[in-house]
Structure 1
């Protein structure tokens, strides 16, 4: 799998988590622990994407 393909997949997962977080927060019975876990996963994906981009930029 190419780096660009991997970054694209990570970005899609990041967007899906964003939607899931939004949907979870608008529910009256929002589970704060679930929302916190989703936010941690989203941040992890963002950090991974930034790391890969930084590593790629360093190669060029």
Structure 2
């Protein structure tokens, strides 16, 4: 949280998945599975979405 925590997402667990929303836009809610969220976080940490990243590759779900 080097930016003072200004960019946050909020998660809510459901019996069959997760809901995600960005704290600055609480009316926009996305439903996903734990598996898909795990793949997204893995890709973010691996630089998959960085435009100039040497680690950029197609995701294998």
Q: Relative to total residues, which structure has the larger helix share, 1 or 2?
A: 1
TM-score (norm 1): 0.34
More strand per residue: 1 or 2? 2
**RCO higher in structure (CA 8 A, sep ≥6):** 1
Q: Choose 1 or 2 for highest CA Rg.
A: 1
